Amino acid sequence: MNPIQGLIPEPSRITTLKGKFTLDNNVIISWVGAEAESTAFLRTEYLRTATGFTLPLEAGLNGTIQLRWRGLHLDVCRHFFSVKEVCRFIDLMALHRLNMFHFHITEDQGWRIEIKKYPKLTEIGSIRKATLIGYMNDRPRKYDNTPYGGFYTQDQIREIVAFAAARLISVVPEIDMPGHMAVAITAYPELENTGAQLGIRTTWGISSSVLNIEDSTVDFIRDVLDEVMDLFPGRFIHIGGDESPKQEWSESHRAQERMVELGLKSEDELQSWFIPKRNERSELVHSRMSEGKAWFHTPRLCRGTGSRLSDSGSR
């Protein structure tokens, strides 16, 4: 046995055997513990509805889960999936004993979650007019010229969260900021820095547009996240943060004024101010952190195993 380092642990017991076994609806699955019970039930249901298949028996395995965070990511912004498809995805996660569903629901190419205080996010932002065919660097670029998209109502989000919870899976929503907000800026131009008219992106890659740093924009983020926190009872919210070009801020007179007001030396420090840890206005949102919520953004993810997540400074 040569497990992938840090991801597939050595089994606690392995016995070399000979012969074969058949997986069908007569298989008996045993378990110890609540999480294992859920997995056993799902696997039993899977086998019950399957026709059965036979595999060579090379070894018998008995092991335990060692990683607390066993996640899988689904981007529904570039490519939209129905509630039924999302639930099927969650079912497959449970079958493989994964427990953290990273739900990527906002992007430059589409806004997928209903926010009642800002209805234009989905009225305008859920449908793009076309989609790039092929890769970003293909030349000449070709588009399908077909409107594409969709979004989840808040009731549908609750349905997905409940479906996941029944399978002992936590849903981690991703609301990117201050970059990857072209859709929000298109729907609400007052969030923009330069006065340019944006549109929902039909290509991939990283947009140069970022949110401005006005108090009204902080209020927008606070309001959006208030509704998001009401819908997702899990501990974590992902806020992206790794792909936020600073050119607009460096060329914005207002952003440069704000840096002076705050005693900041660079646009990188301005982004750190924007992220809730540093922004006193945003702490109005984070009075709810006492409920056990925690922020994290991409640079905070541990490289390699992904088995740990530091909470320090992200609450």
**Which 8-state DSSP code applies to residue 202?**
S
Question: Looking at the predicted structure, is the pLDDT value of residue 280 above 90?
Answer: no
CA–CA separation, 236 and 295 (whole Å): 6
- Answer whether 307's CB lies under 8 Å from 67's CB: yes
Q: Is 35 a catalytic residue?
A: no
Considering 37, 214, 243, 269, which one is annotated as catalytic?
243
- The three-state secondary structure class of 299 is helix
Least Cα distance to 290 among 315, 263, 272 occurs for 315
CA–CA separation, 81 and 103 (whole Å): 11
Q: What is the pLDDT of residues 89-139, one digit of tens each?
A: 999 998 888 999 999 999 999 999 999 999 999 999 999 999 999 998 899
Res 24: pLDDT: 57
Q: What is the pLDDT of residues 158-213, one digit of tens each?
A: 999 999 999 999 999 999 999 999 999 999 999 999 888 889 999 998 889 999 99
Mean per-residue pLDDT, 275-303: 48
CA–CA separation, 289 and 294 (whole Å): 7
Question: Looking at the predicted structure, is the pLDDT value of residue 64 above 80?
Answer: no
Q: Which CATH number fits domain 71-300: 3.90.1200.10, 3.20.20.80, 3.40.50.300, 2.60.40.10?
A: 3.20.20.80
Q: What is the pLDDT of residues 8-58, one digit of tens each?
A: 555 566 566 666 555 555 666 666 777 677 777 776 776 666 555 555 555
> CATH 3.20.20.80 occupies which residues in the chain?
71-300
Give the mean pLDDT of the chain: 80
- The three-state secondary structure class of 216 is helix
- pTM to 2 decimals? 0.78
